[in-house]
Amino acid sequence: MGKKKQKIVLPPDLPPEVPDEAVEVSDEDVLFVSENREYTGFLSNLDTKSINKHVTRVADVKEDELESLYERRLKKKSLDKETEKQGLEVDPVDALPVKTLDGKLYYRTVPKATQKSENEDKDEATTNNKEAGIDASVVRLTKAEKRAKLKKIRKEAKKQAKEGTEVEDVEQIPQAEVLDEVRNDMTAEEANQKKKFRLAELGTALLTDPESNIKSLKEMLEISKDGDRDIAVLSLQSLLAVFRDIIPGYRIRLPTEKEQEMKVSKAVKKMRFYESTLLSAYKAYIQKLLAVEKQAVYKRVAVRCICILLEAVPHFNFRENLLGAVIRNISSEDDISRKLCCATVKSLFTNEGKHGGEVTVEAVQMIADLVKASDCQLHPDSIEVFMSLTFDDDLGRREAQDAKNKFKSKNAKRKDLKEQKESAANEKKRTRKEMMSKTREEVTTELKAASLATDVAERRRMQTDVLSAIFETYFRVLKHAIKPRSEAGFSSQPAGSYPLLTPCLNGIGKFCQLIDLDFMSDLMNYLRKLARSGNSSDGSSKDVSACLTVSERLQCCIVAFRVMRNNLDALNVDLQDFFVQLYNLLIEYRPGRDKGEILAEALKIMLCDDRQHDMQRAAAFIKRLATFSLCSGPAESLAALVTLKHLLQKNVKCRNLLENDAGGGSVSGAIAKYQPYATDPNLSGALASVLWELNLLSKHYHPAVSTMASNISMLGTGDNQIHLSNKSPQQAFKELSLEQDSFIVKVDLNAKRKKGNASLKHISEGADLDSTVKVDENDVKRKLSEHYSLLHDIAENERLRGELVGTTLSLNLYEQYKKQKKRRTK
């Protein structure tokens, strides 16, 4: 059978290629597409934008623009591939590196995510189409697609807005900058640690062998210039410890030019180099302290170093600079700096053996200049340091004793010479005595030089200079306080505007025995003016601008009496003005505002310690003290009653004030009429009065006051012998002021009540109550708050009612106005 030949079917030929420019869309093609919508509907859903990305041939596009579009696409693809190959380096702080054998470090990397959002792709496509000249209006979307697209765009916009607010707050720091900061911090800490170790090494070497390591001071000074505060403070403190230890006990004098030209040994050269290097480094250190002392950050550290250095080596060079800085800060606003400087100055005054008294003279003169420059407006501590000074009262006696000793030694030498002439045969004894006397003189001179004991004349000269500077300061403060208003430049001076007056008066009271008698009259005049400042006794206008407090005026009276008693042999001063001021100040005194200690001291010095009193003046003070006890606290009242009892015991005739007869008792002679408002105690006529105040004081709530008043009342009943009390007003005030905090008022509920007082009778017949009534503060506060809240509600209710009445009247007037207006319109 013959095989049949297989017929090969060839595919149809492709249509001829027609260029895009030759393709034309006819009306029949459009009609065919519109009739067959079920087959051609997919064309409307095509994503023309994504298709246009990959279209190689676009209509109506020039060849040059198309080529540039392809080139940009290729470049972008190559960049994306390079970024995908490169990794994101992880922060070395978070990831541990891998170290290879050759010593290199490799960090783990993470590939970057290079995916873009659909919006970016779409925006990029639109830009590419615009660049290529493609019109976006060719592709049209349906309404549903447009709605979905708008919703999607809104959601993405909201997300981007939320993420944008969070990202703006947190600044993304580049990784390289973070690494640099970490490295810088690590290197700074290491450098600071090295500097601390270096300071310790240099300080130890200097303390061990200062002569060999004296050059290390310059390196320590360089470290003190560091910008870091901790390192600078540590270096300043280290230098302080070194200088305190290595500074010698003498003042260094640098050699002159002629001395430097002279040939000296190696030891002398070495000593000169050591002293010059030490002095230059010490000078640089002081300059550094004075420079940083003006900065608020280093002020306390610098002041502390200056004070410690001055107190440790007051004899050494450049002490004037240190002392000037201390005196400048003695009235500082900073409490710590001021207390440090005051403590240093007091230490210099008390330990004069370190400097021989020269620093004391310089310090006192500097303080006097500071008070003058500041017009007496300084802190009280600035002149209160004078209270730590001590003076030798027996300098004259010592000088006379030294003269007698010298005269005795001369007479003894003459006698020895006579004996030596008479016993010429015994030459060995004579030579031996001469040698003994010479050696004794040499030993005494050496001991005197070694002990640094100053000469009596030199010490007296320095103490005279100190006293003159102190009293110059005190008199300046007093003159400033009594300066007339026209010179002061203001109309009124408030109370308490003289901060230096109180320490000035205390100092005058302490050193009053050393005041020159030529200045006593001026001093007493100043004190008299200050005591009556603000309250002239004759009722005239005030002649000084000072308006002192009661305590300050009482202190002026105290100082005047101290000055008079310490110079009793040389003074003849009338103290009547001060008694007048005390008599008036007893009425002006207010507990809590004024100082009770000063009042008690004034009563003791002026009334109790005085030997004799005029009968009229004593009676006036007795009456005034009784009146004062009624309106004062228990401590002041007890001090006044102690003084009153003392006056009654010393002035027997004044006990007639305790009797109830007309005219104050059986006093012979004419009795002046009692004038309670008189400003002079001698004109008050107190002998014509009766101490009825004691009857009220005997019922005082404080048992100490009531007991004292009862004891005073018993003086006039029988025994006329004098029994002076041992307790002083100061002791009485101190005892009662200490007990005042823990004192509880005692109420005797078993006492007799009047029949008409039913409420008190009910309390006495009621339940068993304690003898002490303890008040609950919380209950009192609650009741008071309820009471005042009720009063507040009543006042608020009245105010609201007033507003309601006013509003009602306004509404009625408005209605009347409306009615009248309607009538007019009709």
First to last CA, the chain: 137
Pairing of strands 98-99, 105-106: antiparallel
What is the per-residue pLDDT across 75-128, written as a single tens digit (0 to 9) for each? 777 666 555 555 455 555 555 677 777 777 766 665 544 444 444 554 554 555
What's the rounded Cα separation, in Å, for the pair 310 and 321? 10
What's the rounded Cα separation, in Å, for the pair 110 and 86? 9
What's the rounded Cα separation, in Å, for the pair 273 and 817? 111
* pLDDT value for 364: 95
Q: 146-160, 590-604, 772-786: which has the highest mean pLDDT? A: 590-604
* pLDDT value for 769: 34
Checking if the pLDDT of 567 tops 60, the result is yes
Report yes or no: 674 and 684 within 8 Å, Cβ to Cβ. yes
Q: What mean pLDDT comes out for the span 305-310?
A: 94
* pLDDT value for 21: 64
Checking if the pLDDT of 161 tops 70, the result is no
- At 6, is the pLDDT very low, low, confident or very high (cuts 50, 70, 90)? low
Tell me which long-range contacts 285-289 makes (C-beta under 8 A, separation of at least 24): 285/221, 285/239, 285/243, 286/318, 286/321, 286/322, 288/221, 288/224, 288/225, 288/236, 289/236, 289/325
Task: Identify the DSSP state of 8.
Answer: P
Residues in the chain: 826
- At 319, is the pLDDT very low, low, confident or very high (cuts 50, 70, 90)? very high
Report yes or no: 345 and 310 within 8 Å, Cβ to Cβ. no
Checking if the pLDDT of 137 tops 50, the result is no
CA atoms within 13 A on the CB side of 766: 11
Beta bridge partners of 594: 591
- At 359, is the pLDDT very low, low, confident or very high (cuts 50, 70, 90)? very high
Token pair, residue 638, equals 């007890």
Checking if the pLDDT of 761 tops 50, the result is no
Burial of 575 (0-12, 13-18, 19+ CB in 10 A): middle
Q: What mean pLDDT comes out for the span 640-651?
A: 91
Of residues 824 and 765, more confidently modeled: 824
Q: What mean pLDDT comes out for the span 158-175?
A: 55
* Closest of 650, 627, 597, 626 to residue 708, by C-alpha: 626
Report yes or no: 179 and 95 within 8 Å, Cβ to Cβ. no
Q: Element (H or E) spanning 105, and its range?
A: strand 105-106
Checking if the pLDDT of 184 tops 60, the result is yes
Q: 111-120, 668-677, 803-812 — which is least confidently predicted?
A: 111-120
What is the per-residue pLDDT across 525-537, written as a single tens digit (0 to 9) for each? 999 999 887 544 4
Checking if the pLDDT of 538 tops 50, the result is no
* Closest of 586, 657, 646, 585 to residue 619, by C-alpha: 657
- 643 phi and psi angles, rounded to 5 deg: -65, -40
* pLDDT value for 421: 61
What is the per-residue pLDDT across 413-459, written as a single tens digit (0 to 9) for each? 566 666 666 665 567 667 777 787 777 777 666 665 555 455 677 88
* pLDDT value for 399: 44
What's the rounded Cα separation, in Å, for the pair 304 and 286? 13
Checking if the pLDDT of 653 tops 80, the result is yes
* pLDDT value for 2: 47
Task: Identify the DSSP state of 14.
Answer: P
Token pair, residue 157, equals 């916009």
What is the per-residue pLDDT across 467-518, written as a single tens digit (0 to 9) for each? 999 999 999 999 998 876 445 444 445 545 788 999 999 999 898 888 887 8
Radius of gyration of the chain (CA): 53
Checking if the pLDDT of 1 tops 50, the result is no
Cα angle: 540, vertex 542, 545; to 5 degrees = 175
Exposure class string for 490-511: b at 16+ Cβ within 10 A, else e:
eeebeeeebbbbbbbbbbbbeb
Of residues 141 and 52, more confidently modeled: 52
* Closest of 760, 520, 554, 549 to residue 639, by C-alpha: 554
What's the rounded Cα separation, in Å, for the pair 390 and 501? 21
Of residues 585 and 428, more confidently modeled: 585
Checking if the pLDDT of 25 tops 80, the result is no
The CB density around residue 119, as the number of other CB atoms within 10 Å, is: 13
What's the rounded Cα separation, in Å, for the pair 78 and 701? 106
Token pair, residue 49, equals 């934008």
Q: What mean pLDDT comes out for the span 15-23?
A: 67
Q: Is 109 helix (H, G, I), strand (E, B) or coil?
A: strand
What's the rounded Cα separation, in Å, for the pair 373 and 811? 73
- At 277, is the pLDDT very low, low, confident or very high (cuts 50, 70, 90)? very high
* pLDDT value for 484: 63
Q: What mean pLDDT comes out for the span 350-375?
A: 91
Q: How many percent of the chain have pLDDT more than 90?
A: 28
* pLDDT value for 426: 65
Q: 319-333, 651-665, 774-788: which has the highest mean pLDDT? A: 319-333
* pLDDT value for 113: 45
* pLDDT value for 663: 47
Checking if the pLDDT of 803 tops 70, the result is yes
Residues whose CB is less than 8 angstroms from the CB of residue 503 and which lie 6 or more positions away in sequence, other chains included = 380, 383, 384, 386, 387
pTM exceeds 0.75? no
What's the rounded Cα separation, in Å, for the pair 337 and 344? 11
* Closest of 684, 578, 560 to residue 622, by C-alpha: 684
* pLDDT value for 507: 92
Using left for φ > 0, alpha for ψ between -120 and 50, and beta otherwise, residue 7 falls in beta
DSSP readout, 467-499?
HHHHHHHHHHHHHHHT--HHHHTSS---TT--T
Checking if the pLDDT of 322 tops 90, the result is yes
* pLDDT value for 553: 93
What is the per-residue pLDDT across 186-231, written as a single tens digit (0 to 9) for each? 677 888 888 889 999 999 999 999 998 899 999 999 998 888 889 9
Average confidence score pLDDT of the chain: 76
* pLDDT value for 79: 62
The CB density around residue 361, as the number of other CB atoms within 10 Å, is: 18
Task: Identify the DSSP state of 728.
Answer: -
